Amino acid sequence: MLLLVRHAMPDASPEVPSGEWPLTPAGRAAASSLVDALPAGALLVASDERKAWETLGAGSVPRDPRFGEVRRDEGWSDDFRTVRGRYVAGEALPGWEPQADVVARFGAGLDSWRARADGALVVATHGMAMTVWLVSVGRVPVGEAEAFWSGLGFPDVVRVD
């Protein structure tokens, strides 16, 4: 069983790089409830971004940059949801990691960690990277990618069999 976890709510700030954003107090509480509901004995792994590994419990969770968010040149703006929605729907954006590259690194990470898992694998990651990969494997139809991504909660779990 593969469970992809979108990280809990981060404390976003333009003064701090997004990879260093901690969870908000409400995000920590939601993450704790999520972790309590995960399958016993599951192998947990997270993106190397703070908000992802904190979602699974900061301690000994292995971190893998292949599960990081889409790499991009993106300024701080109020219309970020619109731009990100276009990206997950398949539009190539200047300064943004090509979707095929996201799929390749994310898939390689999954292959590596699945080989180590003796049962369920739980990966804490990010909404856009998760969505792009799910589209690539046919789990989310291309025409529904933006709606899927915008409907993800903080945190959220997607079971992939």
Q: How confident is the model at residue 59 (pLDDT cuts 50, 70, 90)?
A: confident
Domain 2-160: CATH architecture, name and number where available: 3-Layer(aba) Sandwich (3.40)
**Per-residue H/E/C for 35-81:** HHCCCCCCEEEECCCHHHHHHCCCCCCCECHHHCCCCECCCCCCCHH
pLDDT above 70: residue 148: yes
Whole-model pTM above 0.85? yes
pLDDT at 65: 98
Q: What is the mean pLDDT of residues 49-78?
A: 89
* Contact present, 27 and 154 (Cβ < 8 Å): yes
* Contact present, 136 and 98 (Cβ < 8 Å): no
pLDDT at 18: 87
pLDDT at 58: 65
pLDDT tens figures, 131-141: 999 999 999 99
pLDDT at 73: 81
